[in-house]
C-alpha cells in the first residue's frame, strides 16, 4: 500500500474533526478517491425501495441513485404533482420502475393509513429511507399536537417503519436508513422538553435536537426489529446544495456556496448503505461510507436512562405497542 493509502484513514478522521473541509465537497472528493468498493451495475435489481421527501434535494438524488442501480423506487412525497415531475426525470435518466406515493410523514393518522394501503399492494419492501426533513422558521404543531420537527424526523419515521415492518421482514436483507445531520453534534437529547415548549424557539435547535434523537434511537430501533432481521442505520450527508438549504439557510449557503456538495454527493452514503454487500453492522451511524462517532462535544452526551425515557415518550406518542 502507498504511503498515501496508509495515511488515508488519518486524513479521513482529520477531515471529520475539522468539520468545514470534511462536510463540504473537499471531504467528499478526498474520501471518494479511496473507495475501492463501488457498487456493481444492477446491484438493486429486483429490490423495492421507498424514499420519503423524494421530490427534490437529497431525497430525489437518493431515489435517482437507487434507480440507477435498477431498484424499483417508491417516491414518497407530500405533493403528487412535484413527485410526478421528479419521477419523470428519474425514469428518463435510468429507465427504472419508479412510482409516486403520497404521504405527509409528520401526520400520524396519514402514516397509518398510508402504510395500511401500501401493505395491500406491495408484498415486500427491501429498503426504507427516511429522508423527509425541514428546518422551520417558527414553532409549528401537527394535527396530533406534536412539534413539527419531532413529528417529521422522529415520530413519523418510527411509526412508518413499525407499520411496514411485516413488508420489510419479507425481504432477505431489509434495511432502514434515517437521514440525520451533522447539526446533531451541537445538541444533547431534549429529555425534559421533547416538544420544545420551553424557552424561545429556534428552528435550528429543534432541527438539531430531533436529528440527535434519530441517531440516539438507531441502536434501540435496531434491537427492536432484530428478530425480523431488519438492519437500521443513521447517517449524515455533509453539507449539500439543495432547495431546503437555499430556503432555510440562505446566509450559510452564501458563505459556503461553491464548497457545498452536489445533491448526488450528499446522497452517496444513503445509496451505498442501501446496496453495499455484505450489509454493514446494524444500529450504526455513518458519513461518507464510514461509521462515525456520535459525539464530539462532552456536554451532548446523555445517560442510557435519559435516552430510554425519551424513547418511551416517543414510543407512547406513536402508540407503538398498539394494534389498530
Helices (H), the chain: 3-17, 20-23, 25-32, 57-68, 80-94, 108-121, 148-150, 156-163, 165-169, 203-224, 243-248, 250-256, 263-275, 304-317
In the block, cell 436508513 appears at: 177
Q: Is 237:267 a contact under the CB 8 Å cutoff?
A: yes
Q: Is 48:99 a contact under the CB 8 Å cutoff?
A: no
Q: What are phi and psi of 195, to 5 degrees?
A: -95, 10
**Shortest gap between Cβ of 166 and ligand NAP (angstroms)?**
22
Residues that bind ligand NAP (CB under 6 A): 52-53, 55-59, 78-79, 82, 104-106, 131-134, 152, 179, 181, 236-237, 239-240, 242-245, 266
| Contact residues for 160 (Cβ-Cβ < 8 A; gap 6+) | 52, 103, 105, 111, 114, 115, 128, 130
Q: Is 210:148 a contact under the CB 8 Å cutoff?
A: no
**Shortest gap between Cβ of 2 and ligand NAP (angstroms)?**
32
Closer CB to ligand NAP, 202 or 229, in the complex: 202
**Shortest gap between Cβ of 40 and ligand NAP (angstroms)?**
26
Q: Is 44:70 a contact under the CB 8 Å cutoff?
A: yes
Please tell me whether the peptide bond between 278 and the residue prior to it is cis, using omega within 30 degrees of 0. Answer: yes
Instruction: Kindly state the cell numbers that stand for 322.
Output: 398498539
Q: Which of 23, 28, 185, 207 is catalytic?
A: 207
Catalytic residue flag (residue 207) = yes
Residues annotated as part of the active site? 207
Amino acid at each position: 500500500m502507498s504511503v498515501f493509502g496508509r495515511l488515508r484513514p488519518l486524513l479521513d478522521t482529520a477531515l471529520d474533526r475539522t468539520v468545514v473541509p470534511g462536510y463540504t465537497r473537499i471531504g467528499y472528493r478526498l474520501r471518494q478517491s479511496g473507495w475501492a468498493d463501488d457498487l456493481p451495475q444492477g446491484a438493486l435489481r429486483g429490490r423495492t425501495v421507498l424514499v420519503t421527501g423524494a421530490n427534490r434535494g437529497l431525497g430525489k438524488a437518493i431515489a435517482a441513485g437507487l434507480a440507477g442501480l435498477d431498484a424499483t423506487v417508491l417516491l414518497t412525497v407530500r405533493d403528487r404533482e412535484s413527485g410526478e415531475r421528479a419521477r419523470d426525470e428519474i425514469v428518463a435518466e435510468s429507465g427504472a420502475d419508479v412510482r409516486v406515493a403520497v404521504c405527509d410523514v409528520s401526520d400520524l393518522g396519514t402514516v397509518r393509513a398510508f402504510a395500511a394501503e401500501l401493505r395491500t399492494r406491495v408484498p415486500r419492501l427491501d429498503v426504507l429511507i427516511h429522508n423527509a426533513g425541514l428546518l422551520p422558521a417558527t414553532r409549528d404543531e401537527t394535527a396530533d399536537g406534536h412539534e413539527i420537527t419531532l413529528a417529521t424526523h422522529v415520530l413519523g419515521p418510527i411509526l412508518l417503519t413499525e407499520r411496514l415492518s411485516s413488508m420489510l421482514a419479507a425481504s432477505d436483507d431489509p434495511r432502514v436508513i434515517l437521514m440525520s445531520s451533522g447539526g446533531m453534534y451541537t445538541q444533547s437529547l431534549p429529555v425534559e422538553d421533547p416538544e420544545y415548549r420551553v424557552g424561545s424557539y429556534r428552528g435550528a435547535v429543534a432541527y438539531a435536537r430531533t436529528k440527535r434523537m434519530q441517531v440516539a434511537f438507531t441502536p434501540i430501533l435496531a434491537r427492536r426489529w432484530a428478530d425480523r432481521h431488519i438492519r437500521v442505520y443513521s447517517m449524515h450527508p455533509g453539507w449539500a446544495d439543495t432547495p431546503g438549504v437555499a430556503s432555510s439557510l440562505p446566509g450559510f449557503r452564501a458563505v459556503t456556496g461553491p464548497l457545498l456538495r452536489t445533491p448526488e454527493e450528499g446522497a452517496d452514503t444513503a445509496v451505498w448503505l442501501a446496496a453495499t454487500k455484505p450489509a454493514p453492522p446494524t444500529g450504526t451511524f455513518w458519513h461518507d461510507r464510514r461509521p462515525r462517532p456520535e459525539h464530539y462535544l462532552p456536554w451532548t452526551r446523555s445517560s442510557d436512562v435519559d435516552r430510554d425515557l425519551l424513547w418511551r415518550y416517543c414510543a407512547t406518542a406513536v402508540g407503538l405497542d398498539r394494534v389498530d
